[in-house]
Amino acid sequence: SQTIHQWPATLVQPVGSPLSLECTVEGTSNPNLYWYRQAAGRGLQLLFYSVGIGQISSEVPQNLSASRPQDRQFILSSKKLLLSDSGFYLCAWIGPASGRPWFGDTQYFGPGTRLTVL
């Protein structure tokens, strides 16, 4: 079965420090991958998506960047964190619902990384 991993689970970083969050997917190949951010009191916002290795689309201008060095690896980065980068970062991929074929292909989310910038 397919699984999606994110690490670290929590992270506290000072303003101006760099960031690297990693997402990996197992049990599938060539997935579409997504990074979302959930800021305090707000809904989830799509940051980046990728349809293949080296292919990144940015949805909103921001202080972050994304890369996809391998088929099942998606990385979110920043050279210098801002206070406004704090939030809950979720990686997602599109695939069939395990055990629920009536759902069809849809987005499935990882456990998330909670980032606090101080």
Partner 1 sequence: AQSVTQLGSHVSVSEGALVLLRCNYSSSVPPYLFWYVQYPNQGLQLLLKYTTGATLVKGINGFEAEFKKSETSFHLTKPSAHMSDAAEYFCAVSEGQPGNEKLTFGTGTRLTIIP
The least distance separating partner 1 from the CB of residue 112, rounded to whole angstroms, comes to 5
Of residues 78, 86, 27, the one with CA closest to residue 48: 78
Choice between 83 and 100, CB closer to partner 1 = 100
If you count them, how many residues does the chain have?
118
**One character per residue 25-54, x = contact with partner 1 (rule: CB under 8 A):** -------x-x-x----xxxxxx--x-x---
The least distance separating partner 1 from the CB of residue 87, rounded to whole angstroms, comes to 13
Distance CA 13, CA 86 (A): 9
Q: From residue 80, how far is each of 34, 64, 73, 77, 92 by CA, in Å?
A: 22, 9, 22, 9, 24
The least distance separating partner 1 from the CB of residue 9, rounded to whole angstroms, comes to 8
Of residues 108, 87, 110, the one with CA closest to residue 99: 108
Tell me which residues in 69-108 interact with partner 1 (CB under 8 A): 90, 92, 94, 97, 100, 103-108
CB atoms within 10 A of CB 69: 9
Binding site for partner 1 (CB under 8 A): 6, 32, 34, 36, 41-46, 49, 51, 59, 90, 92, 94, 97, 100, 103-112, 114
